[in-house]
Amino acid sequence: MDYKDTINLPTTDLPMKAGLSAKEPKFLILEDRKYL
């Protein structure tokens, strides 16, 4: 039996992988621009 169709999980636009080491430089650039 496939339980995937019976579970009510919310759908979001957030990615499932974190990947913080790849995304952190982008966040730092955005924060620097925000406070200039």
Query: What is the rounded average pLDDT for all residues in the chain?
Result: 80
Count of residues making up the chain: 36
Q: What share of residues in the chain are helix, strand, coil (percent, to 5)?
A: 50, 0, 50
Q: Locate 36 and state its tokens.
A: 């200039």
- The whole-angstrom separation of Cα 14 and Cα 3 is 23
Band of the pLDDT at 3, cuts 50, 70, 90? confident
Q: Provide the H-helix boundaries in the chain.
A: 20-34
C-alpha separations of 2 from 6, 14, 25 in Å: 8, 24, 40
Check whether 35 has a pLDDT greater than 80: no
